[in-house]
Amino acid sequence: MSAISKTSDSARVRATGSIRVALIGCNHRTAPVELRERVAFTTEQALDAAKQLRSRGILEEAVVVSTCNRSELYGVPGDASPSVADAMEDFLTSYHRIPRGELAGRTYRWLGTDAIRHLYRVAAGLDSMLLGEAEILGQVRAAYSRALEHGATGPILNRVFQGALEVGKRVRAETEVAARPMSVSLAGVKLAERVFGSLKGRSALILGAGEVAEQVVEHLRNRGIGNLCVVNRSFDRARHLAERMGGEAVAWDSLETVLSSPDIIVTSIGDIGSVLTRDKFVRALAARDGRPVFVVDLGVPRNIAADVAGLYNLYLYNVDDLGEIVEQNKRAREAEIPRAETIIAEHVAKFENWRAALEATSIIDDLRGRFSAEREALLRERLAAMHGISPEERERLSKITEDLIERLLQEPTTRLRNGRGVPGHLSVIEALRRVFGLDREEQGRESE
């Protein structure tokens, strides 16, 4: 987060108009992979698209979030009318040269609070294919950081995305949505952590060099495992995996000699049956002075004899045990959704308060400007016809009318500022804009 500076200076925020965030996108729920890959953005494309969205005047601030499961355009439109979503969709289709009809019904569009809530849900991992997955928060952070570095964001999107990153972190820290392992390989590694604590410096033996073994090795490497030994019937495959993962390949015949050193043993050999019997483990445990060993048997049929499970200080899990744990964890994650939604609602409300405070300041400034302009016009008009008034009296009249405006604005200013966070406060501000015709004024200024 070091590159991301927190923007809290409300003075930088555009002091006129209603603040709206618009979103258009498609994800794994709305579009098949064939379509998703066609609307995906590379890193360069995402920056270029954000630039174009701004230069074409569709958005004032823009961030493109594109992962394998979603492509989303977030922005702050100059014009907050619903047609902005059409303009964004037009841009999306034209950018990727896709006939517009192909995206019909495959996209979602959100404006205002709904767009923010959606982003917060995305950052929290609630909108992911795998509930609570960890990668999405990093992807959102990366997309935002790049947009920030290239000047594509402004105070509003900065606030929105910083809020999203905070939500992502809080949901992961305070709920179990992302806490428990959701894959068999990760469940095995997490269970090993329940025995050894940190896996840093521990040793592991991988029996088999297939895809599952590779996944386990990757998880172990990510956790700083020390020695890694790979044993496979095909020595070349073992060596290949060991070389890639920074381990050591051992010949199949030497399996028993290396069995006593690892703290973690993972087996995933198919069509071989029980390779490791109770006797072999009894000898291995004796050789390692009874230190605990965690064994994961991912082979089908099982590579480790069932009676090994009864050995003291040996914890054995097979693929069914891990599958059951993954299912349990999935249910536990789903049960955490309401708590994650509460955190999201809290942050959406926080954003709305910030927006209300800004808009309150903005409308007060606008009203003051509007009244001052009317006052000056009126004074010019009336004083032109009053010839007997001295310059001092003119000055006094000007001061009195100025004070009158300040006095008239005093109470509304206090009420608007005190009303932050009160439900309906934003609609009061919007109503005031309409009543005093300030919305028309903005449009006029923008068209100029």
Partner 1 sequence: MLNHTAYLALVLYAASFCCYAWILYAPHLWLGRFATLLLAGGIIAHYYALLERTYGTHTIPYDDLFGSMSLFAWLLAVTYLGLELIHRQRTVGAFVTLLVAVWVAAVSSFAPRELPPPPPARGPLFAFHVTLNTWAYAAFALSFVLSVIYIVQDGFLRSRRPSAAFWRFPALDVLDRMSRSSVYVGLGALAVGVVSGFVWEHRLSGTYALGDPKVIVTLAIVAVYVAYLLLSRTATWRGARAARICALNFAVVLFSYTIVNLYLTRFHRFF
- For residue 196, state whether it binds partner 1 (rule: CB under 8 A): yes
315 belongs to the binding site for partner 1 (CB under 8 A): yes
**286 phi, psi to nearest 5 deg:** -65, -40
Catalytic site residue 229? no
Q: Residues 167, 347: contact at Cβ < 8 Å?
A: yes
Q: Is 235 in the site for partner 1 (CB under 8 A)?
A: no
Contact 59, 77 (CB under 8 A): yes
Q: Does 290 bind partner 1 (CB under 8 A)?
A: yes
Give 162: exposed, middle or buried? Use CB within 10 Å, 0-12, 13-18, 19+. buried
Query: What angle in degrees, to the nearest 10, is found between the helix axes of 337-384 and 319-335?
Result: 30
Residue 197 in the binding site for partner 1 (CB under 8 A): yes
The least distance separating partner 1 from the CB of residue 165, rounded to whole angstroms, comes to 16
Contact assessment for residue 362 and residue 433, using Cβ atoms and an 8 Å cutoff:
no
For the record, the structure tokens of 189 come out as 């590694």
Which neighbouring-strand residues pair with 64?
73
Q: How far is the CB of 219 from partner 1 (least distance, A)?
A: 16
Site for partner 1 (CB under 8 A): which residue of 191, 249, 265, 364? 191
Token code pair at residue 408 = 């008239």
The torsion of the CA quartet 309, 314, 315, 320, rounded to 10 degrees, works out to: -30
Within 371-410, the residues that bind partner 1 by CB under 8 A are none
Which part of the chain contacts partner 1 (CB under 8 A), choosing from 54-62, 69-77, 169-177, 386-394? 169-177
Smaller CB separation from partner 1, 81 or 222: 222
Only segment of 140-148, 188-196, 210-218, 396-404 that touches partner 1 (CB under 8 A):
188-196
**96 makes contact with partner 1 (CB under 8 A):** no
Buried b (16+ CB within 10 A) or exposed e, 33-58: eebbeebbbeeeebbebbeebbeeeb
> Which one of 1, 3, 33, 68 is the catalytic residue?
68
Binding test (CB under 8 A) with partner 1, winner from 9, 34, 44, 289: 289
CA 159 to chain centre: 14
- Residue 90 or 341: the one with the smaller Cβ distance to partner 1 is 341
Residue 334 DSSP label: H
Contact 261, 228 (CB under 8 A): no
Distance CA 310, CA 303 (A): 16
313 interacts with partner 1 by CB under 8 A: yes
Dihedrals phi, psi of 123, to nearest 5 degrees: -65, -30
Q: How far is the CB of 25 from partner 1 (least distance, A)?
A: 31
Smaller CB separation from partner 1, 198 or 390: 198
Count other C-beta atoms under 10 Å from residue 158's C-beta.
22
Give me the least distance between CB of 306 and partner 1, in Å please. Answer: 12
Residues 325-364 that bind partner 1 (CB under 8 A): 325, 328, 332, 339
For the bound state, the minimum distance from the C-beta of residue 174 to partner 1, rounded and expressed in Å, comes to: 5
Of 114, 133, 193, 402, the one binding partner 1 by CB under 8 A = 193
Q: Does 180 bind partner 1 (CB under 8 A)?
A: yes
Query: Catalytic site residues?
Result: 68
Give the binding site for partner 1 (CB under 8 A): 173-176, 179-180, 190-191, 193-197, 285-286, 289-292, 312-313, 315, 317, 321, 324-325, 328, 332, 339
